[in-house]
């Protein structure tokens, strides 16, 4: 029962995590604050409820995502195990750093929206936030882990024969889309993200089913009885 529960948790995490990122990005695209040169503070002022909801999604979605990474790493017990393990560590480091970055980013601009500062003070705070070291370190750690981790992870799983060849390609496309701005690149990234992670969730679900079937089909070894 515990094995089944753990598998359900892992598969759910691998669905909820990427889905939270997709939903959060789409929601941010829909926030269009008024003004000649709107900033994140303007978005937090004009859409406070949506700003809080997106921030919470960006924090708790990756937390759920992390719960599924060990099950993915376990898909390669022999061949490809080292590459898969390295990829799992990098992949886990990305969302973990992203949790801190999102909390700082949305918390800071949410606080600025409620502070009631004048325009000059708000501009100075925004400029300081852009240069803030801890937030930038977490941002770059997220970008590196989120870009390289799934590539290494899926390459390892491909070596293990767990996923199709197009899954690492989807991971590469997801990372490459970060280099380009605009809605088209954003849509391509989200589609590639789904194409990379849905097969991993399916592989985790199928590995448990195969394991259960193996246990059912394996005959029980009997100890000869003395006559």
Among all chains, which residue has been given the structure tokens 């390289």?
A: 148
Residue 219 forms part of a structural domain: no
Domain contains 34: yes
Q: Does residue 19 sit within a domain?
A: yes
Whole domain around residue 80: which residue ranges? 2-207
Q: What's the rounded mean pLDDT across residues 123-150?
A: 92
In a domain, 220, yes or no: no
For 19, the token pair is: 């889905």
pLDDT band per the 50, 70, 90 thresholds, residue 117:
confident
Length of the chain: 227
Residue 146 lies in a domain: yes
Question: What pLDDT is recorded for position 184?
Answer: 84
CA distances to 10, 70, 175, 222 from 6, rounded to whole Å, are 6, 11, 29, 31
pLDDT digits (tens, 9 = 90+) for 144-193: 999 999 999 999 999 999 999 999 999 999 998 877 767 788 889 899 99
pLDDT reading at 58 higher than 80? yes
- Average of pLDDT values for 135-146? 93
The residue assigned the tokens 């604050």 is 33
Take residue 204 and report the two structure tokens written for it.
């985790």
Give percent of the chain above pLDDT 90: 62
Please indicate, yes or no, whether the overall pTM of this predicted structure exceeds 0.95. no
| Angstrom distance (rounded) from CA 80 to CA 68 | 19
Residue 213 lies in a domain: no
* Residue 77 resides in a domain: yes
Domain total of the chain: 1
Domain assignment present for residue 161? The answer is yes
**Three-state SS at 223:** coil
pLDDT band at residue 224 under the 50/70/90 scheme: very low
């Amino acid at each position: 029962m515990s094995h089944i529960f753990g598998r359900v948790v892992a598969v759910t995490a691998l669905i909820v995590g990427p889905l939270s990122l997709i939903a959060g990005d789409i929601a941010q695209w829909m926030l269009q604050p008024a003004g000649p040169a709107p900033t994140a503070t303007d978005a937090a002022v004009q859409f406070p409820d949506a700003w809080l909801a997106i921030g919470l999604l960006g924090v708790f979605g990756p937390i759920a995502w992390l719960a599924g990474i060990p099950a993915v790493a376990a898909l390669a017990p022999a061949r490809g195990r080292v590459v898969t393990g390295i990829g799992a560590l990098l992949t886990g480091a990305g969302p973990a750093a992203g949790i801190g970055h999102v909390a700082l980013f949305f918390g800071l601009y949410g606080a600025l929206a409620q502070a009631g500062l004048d325009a000059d003070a708000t501009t100075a705070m925004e400029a300081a936030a852009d240069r803030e070291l801890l937030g930038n370190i977490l941002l770059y750690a997220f970008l590196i882990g989120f870009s390289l981790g799934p590539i290494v992870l899926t390459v390892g799983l491909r070596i293990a024969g767990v996923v199709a060849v197009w899954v690492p390609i989807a991971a590469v496309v997801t990372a490459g889309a970060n280099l380009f701005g605009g809605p088209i690149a954003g849509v391509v990234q989200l589609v590639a993200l789904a194409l990379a992670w849905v097969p991993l969730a399916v592989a985790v679900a199928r590995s448990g089913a195969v394991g259960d079937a193996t246990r059912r089909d394996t005959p029980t070894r009997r100890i000869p009885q003395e006559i």
